[in-house]
Structure 1
Amino acid sequence: HAYSSGGYYAVTLTTINDKGCVDVAIQNVYVYPEPQINFSTEEPCVNNFIDFDNLTTLDSGSVVSWAWDMAGLYSDTTEDISYYFDSVGFYDVTLTAVSSFGCINTYTQTIYIKPLPISEAGPDTIICSGDAVTLGTSVLAGHSYDWTPTTGLNNPLVSAPTVTLTNDTNFIISTTYEVTTTFNGCTSTDNVAIGVFPVINASIPIQVEQCFPDNKFFFDAKGVYGPNATFQWDFGDGMGVSTADTVSYSYSDTGAFTVSLTIRDNGCVSTATTVALVYDVPIATFGFDSEVGCNPFTVEFNAWSSSNNVADSQLTYIWSFGDGDSAFTQTTSHTYDPEGTYFPSLTILLGICKGYEEMTKYDTVTVLPTPTAGMIVDPIIGSIYNPIVTITDISEGADDCYLIITPGDTMVICDYQHNYFDPTLPYNQTVSHDITQIVTNSYGCSDTITVTVDILPEYIFFAPNTFTPNADGMNDFFFGRGYGILEFEMYIYDRWGDMVFKTNNMREGWDGHVNGGKKKAQQDVYVYIVNIIDIYEQEHKVIGHVSLIE
């Protein structure tokens, strides 16, 4: 009997003789299990190593040997193996296992080795900076694509992406792209190298404007290009062209000409333009507000050019004022000193337009003599006790002279003495007065000078020596008086040294009472002490006597 699975089984034997007697014998039999063989694989793709994972189980004992048979192409005795098939098709893979009890089992699995998808990245190529090129090939149904790196790609997940690359260096750069194609679980890869020529960046140096007819421009092709580059110049006048990299050209007329340069190298093209300006020779012209004036004489100058096709802002202006000074703006002013005749000139430059006589213009400016105002004021600083100021005329070159004294009248003489005492003005602050002298000559030229005189305050204090506090309305109070006082304190003492009165208000006087005004003071001689700080913050102490007479 063959058991289909391992385990313990009770075997019973029953014997019956011819007499009908029965005997039963029972024996237990243990059947060892055989290995339960199984294995799994990855996606079986041609030319790809396939990992065969052994999934065999055994309920009792252990597997002591393995035997792999890869469709008769290869055998191995390890538990797990990796193997690849180099052809598409069906293959029988067999695994045999032997247990430690000598039990043997074999399992065969038929696998299909699938073909790899075709990956096509395209041919290697070199493009111009900023150009686009299509990679890969047309899409196949069911296939997926993944491109790396993604630099410049419009879509890295399609079969034929477009790549756009730039190159700002001075040499060719190259990027290798790899496409991974997946179909039915199998993948393949392919690479393509895309080179990029440096960007040519054609340019033409800026041209300085020139004048007709003596103009000659030098054009130099600038950019990044190789020895096989070609050049095409168009000078914008409908006549001039050139194929050299460096060229000189002269224009036969005035105007603004657009110069274009096209550089071709390795199939790449770059174009640049600039403007060549050819002007008529500018003719200098200028005007000013007055040709004759008094010293110092300030003249406003304004320049322009008679060339109609030249903007004033494009010109360089060079002024020479005839006295050694110069300026370089279109509009300017200049002060002439001393009197005399001057010959100012203007020269206009435009680009290389130099050396033409008509570009410089001369004119005449006459500066007339001007009298010089002058006076001596003595003293320049007076006071309320010395307010008289003497004015002495020291002007030169004047035919007429008069003074304006403020406050006061206009004087037609220039030697004068003025008294600045004014009882209406404050005595505790400085009062300033302006004295102005105006002189003129026979040319109508004039000069003015103003001197400021300061009348300073002064300090003074005085007090009477007698008062009569008898309520007759006359001399009833004892006051101190003064000017130029900032702080004031007054103390009055009797003959025994007792203080009978105190105040820090100069307007408050003693009325002849003592003991807080309760009692009249007796007729006697009293001593006062006054402490003062004047307007110059100087301290003063005044001690005196006052007689109280009833």
Structure 2
Amino acid sequence: MGGNCATVADTMHITLVTPQLNAPADFNICGGASTQLVATGMLNYNWSPSTGLNDANIANPIASPVTDITYTIHATDINGCTASDDVIITVMPMPDINFVATPLSGCKPLLVSFTPASASQLASYYWDFGDAPSGFANNSVLELPVHQYNNSGTYTVALNVISIDGCPNTIVQNQLINVYQQPVSSFTFLPHEGDVDNMLFTFYDESVNAAQWVWTFGEENAGAENSSTLQNPQHLYTNTGFFDVWLYVTSPEGCSDSSSNHIIIRGEYAIYFPNAFTPDNDGINDYFYPEGIELNNNAYELYIYSRWGELVFSTDDVHKGWDGRMQGTGSPAQQDVYVWVMWQENYIIGRQKYTGHVTLIR
């Protein structure tokens, strides 16, 4: 270059800046759920499409998509440089659930079986039977549980599940189970004890929560008269002895209970012991034994002793008398006065002891 001009040299430094956009990785969410998208490294952000976003122009919007979606983020840094990235969100379906219970109602204690119904593949179950007083038994993680309700009332049951994709769902069936109170059977009667002159009994129901009554009076030979469906019936007995009376009651819901009482009607009781006998095989007065009304083999014992206390005869058969022979040897006992002791038990007198003397005459 000519003239008086000088040559000047200079250096320019150019820095190339790469935008540092940090976008989230692709991920899954459960249907109906929300998630936060987190982007960093830039100054201004814009997400598209804006479907399901609470704000498309911030770094960290809340996303609530209802179907699978791809979000694209466009961002500008402080240098005016731009960058973009895609985030794919896959929406996993919520598990559809229902369940049935069998039975839905009944008398306590009520054992109920539960069965889930779902087209989804489920990974876990958690049942709440609505029966807090049952403690730990109120919950189950089994697929097909059973639960026993021990108290009357109405119960709400809930089932919580998680699908194999990790998505939860809950179903609640309100007032699903109805458990009915059991009736309590109870009764009294008058008179407290009968006899041959007083055989008409009146029965008084004292049951709780009873709507129907069936009585049996324990006198089978009375035929149709042996039962009644009245609440407070009467029964005229035709026999003496012990009788078991039963009361079967039913509640308005069909639950049942029963109770029983023993009644006694005493018969006549008489017993006779001869004071002498003649065991000479003439067919008349050859045996010594007691006779009487209501005499039987119930705890019957008869002992014969000599005047020196030697046991000469014993039996527990009311139909077997002493034939005048020595027990063990079979030899004839001598003519003498002997002591007898008899034990007898029956419903009229209980267990009683009788003693006396008998003369053996030859």
TM-score of the superposition, structure 2-length normalised? 0.59
Indicate whether 1:202 and 2:185 are aligned.
yes
Q: Is the 8 A contact 2:52 2:63 kept in 1?
A: no
What SS is found at the alignment partner of 2:158? Answer: strand
CA drift of 1:127 comes to 2.7
After superposition, give the CA deviation of every residue in 1:463-503 in whole Å (9 maximum; x if it has no partner): xxxxxxxxxxxxxxxxxxxxxxxxxxxxxxxxxxxxxxxxx
In structure 2, C-alpha distance between the alignment counterparts of 1:221 and 1:79, rounded to whole Å: 80
Q: Is the 8 A contact 2:214 2:247 kept in 1?
A: yes
CA drift of 1:198 comes to 1.6
Q: Is the 8 A contact 1:121 1:191 kept in 2?
A: no
Indicate whether 1:132 and 2:93 are aligned.
no
Aligned to 1:94: 72
Aligned to 1:235: 217
Alignment CA distance shift 1:191-1:71 (3 Å): same
After superposition, give the CA deviation of every residue in 1:175-214 in whole Å (9 maximum; x if it has no partner): 3221101111001111233232122232334773322352
In structure 1, C-alpha distance between the alignment counterparts of 2:209 and 2:86, rounded to whole Å: 68
Aligned to 1:383: none
In structure 1, C-alpha distance between the alignment counterparts of 2:116 and 2:258, rounded to whole Å: 37
Q: Structure 1 residues 233-242 or 143-152, which shifts more?
A: 143-152
1:123-522 superposed matches below 5 A: 125-137=104-116, 141-148=121-128, 151=131, 153=137, 156-167=140-151, 172-183=152-163, 184-192=165-173, 193-205=176-188, 208-225=192-209, 229-238=211-220, 239=223, 240-265=226-251, 267-281=253-267
CA drift of 1:155 comes to 6.9
What SS is found at the alignment partner of 1:122? Answer: strand
In structure 1, C-alpha distance between the alignment counterparts of 2:157 and 2:181, rounded to whole Å: 19
Aligned to 1:6: none
TM-score of the superposition, structure 1-length normalised? 0.40
In structure 1, C-alpha distance between the alignment counterparts of 2:14 and 2:189, rounded to whole Å: 110
CA drift of 1:162 comes to 0.9
Aligned to 2:29: 44
What SS is found at the alignment partner of 1:30? Answer: coil
CA drift of 1:266 comes to 5.1
Aligned to 2:19: 34
Matched positions, count: 257
In structure 1, C-alpha distance between the alignment counterparts of 2:207 and 2:49, rounded to whole Å: 66
Q: Is the 8 A contact 2:123 2:161 kept in 1?
A: yes
What SS is found at the alignment partner of 1:133? Answer: strand
Q: Structure 1 residues 103-112 or 138-147, which shifts more?
A: 138-147
What SS is found at the alignment partner of 1:29? Answer: coil
Q: Is the 8 A contact 2:126 2:142 kept in 1?
A: yes
Amino acid at match of 1:84: S
How large is the Cα RMSD of the aligned pairs?
3.7
Q: Is the 8 A contact 2:214 2:249 kept in 1?
A: yes
After superposition, give the CA deviation of every residue in 1:235-259 in whole Å (9 maximum; x if it has no partner): 2223322223332222221232222
In structure 2, C-alpha distance between the alignment counterparts of 1:159 and 1:180, rounded to whole Å: 11
In structure 2, C-alpha distance between the alignment counterparts of 1:148 and 1:265, rounded to whole Å: 29
Q: Is the 8 A contact 2:216 2:247 kept in 1?
A: yes
What SS is found at the alignment partner of 2:181? Answer: coil
Amino acid at match of 1:232: V
CA drift of 1:26 comes to 5.5
Q: Is the 8 A contact 1:43 1:50 kept in 2?
A: no
Larger relative contact order (Cα-Cα within 8 Å, sequence gap ≥ 6)? 2
Amino acid at match of 2:30: C
Q: Percent sequence identity over matched residues?
A: 18
CA drift of 1:113 comes to 0.9
Aligned to 1:536: none
Indicate whether 1:108 and 2:86 are aligned.
yes
Amino acid at match of 1:277: I
Aligned to 1:547: none
Amino acid at match of 1:128: C
Q: Is the 8 A contact 1:71 1:94 kept in 2?
A: no
Structure 1: state its 5+ residue gaps: 1-23, 286-305, 312-349, 352-550
Amino acid at match of 1:44: I
In structure 2, C-alpha distance between the alignment counterparts of 1:255 and 1:109, rounded to whole Å: 94
In structure 2, C-alpha distance between the alignment counterparts of 1:70 and 1:258, rounded to whole Å: 86
Alignment CA distance shift 1:280-1:84 (3 Å): same
In structure 1, C-alpha distance between the alignment counterparts of 2:114 and 2:227, rounded to whole Å: 40
After superposition, give the CA deviation of every residue in 1:378-418 in whole Å (9 maximum; x if it has no partner): xxxxxxxxxxxxxxxxxxxxxxxxxxxxxxxxxxxxxxxxx
What SS is found at the alignment partner of 1:27? Answer: coil
What SS is found at the alignment partner of 2:87? Answer: strand
Amino acid at match of 2:146: T
Indicate whether 1:68 and 2:47 are aligned.
yes
Q: Is the 8 A contact 2:129 2:138 kept in 1?
A: no
Alignment CA distance shift 1:221-1:187 (3 Å): farther
Alignment CA distance shift 1:141-1:185 (3 Å): closer
Q: Is the 8 A contact 1:155 1:161 kept in 2?
A: no
Higher Rg: 1
